[in-house]
Structure 1
Amino acid sequence: MLGLLARIAAALAVYTVLGVALGALLRNQVAALLIVGGYFYAGETALLLIPGVNAAYPFMPGGAASALTGFSYLADATASQTGTAATSLLPAPLGALVLLGYALLAATLAIAAPLRRDIG
């Protein structure tokens, strides 16, 4: 149980970094909230429904977080509704690395973009 809680905390930390980074990149807070909410609640789910594109789901932030936490409900429910095979998730350590990559990329962009904007 403690291991699962630690993996969930790690996924939440990455999502926090992603949210803060997007907030730093966009000057409009409402737009940042709509983009993050729309992508994570509707965008990845819609991409999971498209045959061929759903193979990339394990490498998206939601798929990597699902792999890290072992929560495959979304992929399983989508497969049962569409009658296709469930998208297999990455192993938990690889999911953690993918999430870490997203966090590092987002943090780098969030630091670099405002610095370029402020010079001038």
Structure 2
Amino acid sequence: MNNKILINKMRDNAELAQAAYGYFHFIGKNFSNKEEYKDKKDTEITQTDILDITYNGYEVKDTGLIFDDKLKGDFTPTQAKRFFSRYDLLIHQPNTESGFSATLFGEKRKQKNTESKLLKELQCF
């Protein structure tokens, strides 16, 4: 296997693992209306905002939680947009009482078989 393909696969898997820890239960809630939040003040939170490091530490309005009511994204803005251009957020299960949580992503690009996918990747390089 070509080193570049292998590196890209490892990057993709690392991003998926990293994104799985996003606080996606905040989707649809609003940022707090603090002055330092400027254009995001009192606006709805999107899935890209949750992973974006720009909003790391921003408080979420009316979460009903005592702790963890701040975003903790660690993707660059471009990385977060690129991630969601490739993957759909299918299901997010926030922490249960036992501490279980899970996030399921689906790849947007559908292939009929893995051979055609590999051939397309090789042709791109």
The normalised TM-score by structure 1 is 0.29
Give 1 or 2: higher strand fraction.
2
Give 1 or 2: higher helix fraction.
1
The normalised TM-score by structure 2 is 0.28
The structure, 1 or 2, with the larger RCO (C-alpha pairs under 8 Å, 6+ apart) is 1
